[in-house]
């Protein structure tokens, strides 16, 4: 398939790499051309603008940090919509606002352009291994046609319903992941300060009803090693939590606990940890408890 890919950051680059490895013809764009060096060496072609990515492509993907970036790349000057036709399929792999992607969908539909949302979960290691979860919203027939291509980046590709539903699923997932991270750190610092070895405590919880992927997959790669190189940056985690609390307000849903998680991430941003991995939020609890959650190799 002829694929366009815009946004070659920590997640975008490995996803684009896996599309190339699967044999797809790839045209790429990023604000920094050096981000595409490995892809160009593998045979991808470079486009100078998002508009130039689109012609002749069966599908164009974006993987971008925040909703305003998506809107600029799709709707702005030299954006995707300027280069699109009624044959164009555009899929956003970013974590975006459901309301924003639905608005983009409606604006693109006026030109006959098909828009799908397809946010991903699984971190940079999942992106590299092509084991991401991919949550797709939009036209079912387009999903069916595009699923073999999405299988190149994810091992669990799911149709979630109409446009925006993929974003809703992703926001719910990330809110839970970030909230579990905050609560898990509280529980672990309590247990360690009360005298239990961290490895023992983590093993017990992982094999009991409190077990979760944040404890078994994420913390061992980052927090427990004192490794705060992203990964999934704290600034992006904070953005996703805020998308969740904003969505709750939009639909009149009480979000008391989520708002506490939101404020913890805001505090981490104020401390300058935005570029660090999202496990950096745990450093606030470590500091307050006087306990560091680290495991020796």
- Domain count for the chain, please give it: 2
* Same-domain check for residues 197 and 61: no
Task: Indicate whether 294 belongs to any domain.
Answer: no
* Same-domain check for residues 17 and 145: yes
- What CATH number is associated with residue 136? 3.40.50.720
* Same-domain check for residues 146 and 214: no
Q: What is the pLDDT at residue 297?
A: 72
- Which of 162, 189, 207 is where one domain is finished? 162
* Same-domain check for residues 47 and 143: yes
Task: Indicate whether 252 belongs to any domain.
Answer: yes
Active site residue 170: yes
Task: Indicate whether 296 belongs to any domain.
Answer: no
- Which of 134, 162, 190 is where one domain is finished? 162
* Same-domain check for residues 6 and 108: yes
* Same-domain check for residues 154 and 179: no
Task: Indicate whether 268 belongs to any domain.
Answer: yes
Task: Indicate whether 297 belongs to any domain.
Answer: no
* Same-domain check for residues 259 and 151: no
How does pLDDT run along the chain (297 residues), one tens digit per residue?
A: 999 999 999 999 999 999 999 999 999 999 999 999 999 999 999 999 999 999 999 999 999 999 999 999 999 999 999 999 999 999 999 999 999 999 999 999 999 999 999 999 999 999 999 999 999 999 999 999 999 999 999 999 999 999 999 999 999 999 999 999 999 999 999 999 999 999 999 999 999 999 999 999 999 999 999 999 988 999 999 999 999 999 999 999 999 999 999 999 999 999 999 999 999 999 999 999 999 999 987
Q: How far apart are the C-alpha atoms of 75 and 113, rounded to whole Å?
A: 12
Contacts of 93 (CB under 8 A, 6+ apart): 7, 11, 12, 15, 61, 62, 63, 118, 119, 120, 134
The catalytically annotated residue of 170, 218, 239, 283 is 170
- What CATH number is associated with residue 218? 1.10.1040.10
């Amino acid at each position: 398939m002829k694929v366009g890919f815009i946004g070659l950051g920590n997640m975008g680059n490995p996803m684009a790499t896996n599309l190339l490895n699967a044999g797809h013809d790839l045209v790429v764009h990023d604000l920094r051309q050096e981000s595409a060096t490995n892809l160009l060496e593998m045979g991808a072609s470079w486009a100078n603008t998002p508009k130039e990515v689109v012609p002749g492509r069966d599908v164009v993907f974006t993987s971008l940090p925040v909703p305003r970036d998506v809107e600029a790349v799709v709707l702005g000057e030299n954006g995707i919509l300027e280069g699109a036709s009624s044959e164009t399929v555009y899929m956003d792999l970013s974590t975006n606002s459901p309301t924003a992607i639905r608005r983009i969908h409606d604006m693109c539909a006026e030109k006959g352009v098909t828009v799908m949302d397809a946010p991903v979960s699984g971190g940079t290691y999942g992106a590299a291994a092509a084991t991401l979860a991919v949550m797709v919203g939009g036209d079912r027939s387009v999903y069916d046609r595009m699923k073999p291509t999405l299988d190149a980046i994810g091992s669990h590709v799911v149709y979630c319903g109409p446009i925006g539903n993929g974003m809703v699923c992703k926001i719910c997932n990330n809110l839970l992941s970030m909230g579990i991270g905050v609560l898990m750190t509280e529980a672990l610092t309590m247990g360690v300060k009360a005298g239990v070895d961290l490895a023992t405590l983590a093993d017990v919880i992982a094999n009991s009803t409190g077990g979760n992927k944040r404890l078994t997959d994420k913390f061992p790669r980052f927090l427990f090693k004192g490794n705060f190189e992203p990964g999934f940056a704290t600034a992006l985690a904070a953005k996703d939590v805020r998308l969740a609390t904003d969505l709750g307000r939009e639909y009149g849903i009480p979000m008391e606990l989520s708002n506490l998680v939101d404020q913890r991430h805001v505090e981490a941003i104020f401390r300058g940890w935005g570029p660090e991995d999202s496990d950096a939020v745990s450093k606030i609890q470590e500091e307050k408890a006087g306990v560091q959650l680290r495991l020796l190799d």
